[in-house]
Structure 1
Amino acid sequence: MTGSDASIVQFDNVGLRYGTEREVLSDISFTLYPGSFYFLTGASGAGKTSMLKLLYLAQRPSRGMIRMFGEDVITAARRSLPEFRRRIGTVFQDFRLVPHLTAFDNVALPLRISGMGEQDIRKPVADMLDWVGLDHRAEARPATLSGGEQQRVAIARAVIARPEMLVADEPTGNVDPDMAVKLLRLFEALNRLGTTVVVATHDVHLLRKVPDSLIMRLDKGRLSDPTGALRYPPRRERIAR
């Protein structure tokens, strides 16, 4: 696919099993397009977290094909995977903050890894912490932060470098409803800058908060796509270009 039809992610008949257990994901096929916003939903145990692990390259599938950023990541050498991962922002359910770093330094980490100079880091990190309501906790370490505060630091870290794709696993699960909406607005703003966003959630109320989003539903390891939205570019993209 080329032009407006170019995909950022393509799954083709992907299956995933852990060890000798039955498949937790079966015959998964879909295409994600640049600059689109997707919700991944499904009951507990449907396979959402497993799907996200495939998307941020923490897990290889048992079968099928996955292409990201125009390249086959299944056959790619393991040494090339960190370069792919640097193009993906990830929000984990367990946050995975670096315990000995302050909130400021956790958020700054992707910028430092990318080689940005210290003089250019301070303002964007301070602005991001202010956006998520933690400017007053910039020097706090993760152990002194509440669960909701750790969640917000993790989200700020994931979006600070404007990744090409953002993958978020229940990103609003530890915050109050007002902050949940504010964080969704942050994701929307990043999306408008061109980032493809995938948010896994069991909260059906969130699905109505982003009008242009597309919905991916998992049911017992299989993906339901009754509208065909995951096989073709979103209509607004086709019209716009």
Structure 2
Amino acid sequence: MSAAEQSIVQFDNVGLRYGTDREVLSDISFTLYPGSFYFLTGASGAGKTSMLKLLYLAQRPTRGAIRMFGHDLITQKRGRLPDFRRRIGTVFQDFRLIPHLTAFDNVALPLRISGMSEGEIAKPVSDMLEWVGLDHRRDARPATLSGGEQQRVAIARAVIARPEILVADEPTGNVDPDMAVKLLRLFEALNRLGTTVVVATHDVHLLRKVPDSLIMRLDRGTLSDPTGALRYPPRREAAGS
């Protein structure tokens, strides 16, 4: 099986510009492999959020090719994209919680959309809220939660359905260091179940917290890959093949 056939995401010479401005991403090429953990780093303005938008299918590239889950996304009709998005968990920098829903109902939303019954939903949602330290705030609405609490609800919502890909934009930016480590452990646990994880962060200290992670560095819209780790399966994957 070729590397491309093993991949879950593949970008080939992808470029992105907004309107008539210069490209914010240029000639981006990489391959993500199932069950791997990646950190996306770079200075403010390097293009991290723009690249994540391409990964969670909120934006189409200006040029180049993207394959995901074995499909060419560039040729897909827009009506097919929601099917792909349901396989991706996303933690947004601005949380995007639904204001009229409680913390419990925000976290439960992906399970309800997938068709699970209320009886099936109650325990996993309660367990997830307990894991992120918010079981006592299950009935609170977003406006009454602190920024860190909203962040934890957003993370719980993103991982509750065990997505095939998790994309997180600065997921520890509004929590204290102890909670940041706990949330990373949650991502690691999900990763061990097979989810491919991509965490964008400017916090270099986090990079040392996940020993088997791979690092993608953006610099002014271009991606550096000095080790080739983004083109070939990680060594631990190859060893198990």
Band the TM-score falls in, shorter-chain normalisation: over 0.9
How many Å separate the matches in 2 of 1:236 and 1:154?
A: 30
Aligned to 1:220: 220
Amino acid at match of 1:90: T
Preserved CA contact (<8 Å) 1:88 1:164: yes
Aligned to 2:15: 15
How many Å separate the matches in 2 of 1:91 and 1:104?
A: 16
Amino acid at match of 1:69: F
How many Å separate the matches in 2 of 1:134 and 1:143?
A: 15
Aligned to 1:51: 51
Amino acid at match of 2:185: R
How many Å separate the matches in 2 of 1:212 and 1:4?
A: 21
Query: SS of the residue aligned with 1:194?
Result: coil
Preserved CA contact (<8 Å) 2:3 2:232: no
Aligned to 1:28: 28
Residue 4 of structure 1 deviates from its aligned partner by 9.9
Amino acid at match of 1:119: G
Preserved CA contact (<8 Å) 1:42 1:218: yes
Where in structure 2 are the equivalents of 1:1-241 lying within 5 Å? 1=1, 6-241=6-241
Preserved CA contact (<8 Å) 1:36 1:196: yes
Preserved CA contact (<8 Å) 1:15 1:28: yes
How many Å separate the matches in 2 of 1:84 and 1:119?
A: 26
Query: SS of the residue aligned with 1:198?
Result: strand
How many Å separate the matches in 2 of 1:240 and 1:182?
A: 28
Instruction: Rate the CA distance shift 1:36–1:83 in 2: closer, same or farther, 3 A.
Output: same
Amino acid at match of 1:118: E
Runs of 4+ in 1 over 4 A off after TM superposition: 1-5
Structure 2: 5+ residue stretches without partners:
none
Amino acid at match of 1:184: L
How many Å separate the matches in 1 of 2:2 and 2:103?
A: 41
Amino acid at match of 1:144: T
Preserved CA contact (<8 Å) 1:5 1:233: no
Q: How many residue pairs end up in the alignment?
A: 241
Instruction: Rate the CA distance shift 1:225–1:4 in 2: closer, same or farther, 3 A.
Output: closer
- The percent identity for this pair of structures is 87
Amino acid at match of 1:48: K
Query: SS of the residue aligned with 2:223?
Result: strand
Query: SS of the residue aligned with 1:61?
Result: coil
Per-residue Cα deviation, 1:76-126 (whole angstroms, up to 9, x for no partner): 000000000000000000000000000000000000000001100000000
Query: SS of the residue aligned with 2:65?
Result: strand
Instruction: Rate the CA distance shift 1:238–1:164 in 2: closer, same or farther, 3 A.
Output: same
Preserved CA contact (<8 Å) 2:36 2:213: yes
How many Å separate the matches in 1 of 2:82 and 2:221?
A: 27
How many Å separate the matches in 2 of 1:31 and 1:95?
A: 27
Instruction: Rate the CA distance shift 1:220–1:73 in 2: closer, same or farther, 3 A.
Output: same
How many Å separate the matches in 2 of 1:135 and 1:17?
A: 42
Preserved CA contact (<8 Å) 1:5 1:33: no
Residue 136 of structure 1 deviates from its aligned partner by 0.1
Residue 240 of structure 1 deviates from its aligned partner by 1.2
